[in-house]
Amino acid sequence: MTKKKILLIDDEERLLDLLGDFVEDMGHDVEMQPKSALALEAFQNNPSAYKMIITDHTMPELSGLDLIAKVRLIDTDIPCVLTSGAALDEIDGLLESDSNFHYLKKPYKRRHLQELLDKFNF
């Protein structure tokens, strides 16, 4: 059986590589994607391959919130983490209504990511 992966999405490839290193160092398999539309396609093609999605909000093609909304049409239980350096008023409702939605404000430290991942039984 293949281990499920954490799908990481960020159009800033330097940050994506750093995030990938962090998550792999924490013992998780990762799949990194700099294009949100391709990440969504990968998830749609095989949703059971993933245990979590961590996505930046501000990206060309498809924002992180839009990506999560499309993921929710397929799977309401997969944990989704939105990262952003901007204050986003629209996430307050999601944080209240979706127990599998989490927010990590940029810039965050490795320990903040570790604390979030530790909340899950992976």
Handedness of CA 50, 24, 53, 92 (dihedral sign): positive
More confident residue, 112 or 1: 112
pLDDT of residue 85: 84
Contact assessment for residue 34 and residue 11, using Cβ atoms and an 8 Å cutoff: yes
Tell me the pLDDT band of 104, cut-offs 50, 70 and 90: very high
Domain ranges in the chain are 5-118
Please report, as a single letter, which amino acid is at residue 35: K
3-state secondary structure 28-85: CEEEEECCHHHHHHHHHHCHHHEEEEEEECCCCCCCHHHHHHHHHCCCCCCCEEEEEC
pLDDT value at 2 more than 70? no
Mean pLDDT, range 100-120, rounded to an integer: 92
Nearest to 33 by CA among 60, 72, 2, 69: 60
4 with 28: CB under 8 angstroms? Answer: no
What homologous superfamily does CATH list for 5-118? Answer: Response regulator (3.40.50.2300)
Q: Please state, for a pLDDT cut of 90, what percent of the chain lies above it.
A: 79
- pLDDT for position 121: 80
**Whole-structure pTM value:** 0.94
More confident site: 54 or 106: 54
Nearest of 98, 100, 103 to residue 113 by alpha carbon? 103
Summarised one tens digit per residue, pLDDT across range 20-67 is 999 999 999 999 999 999 999 999 999 999 999 999 999 999 999 999
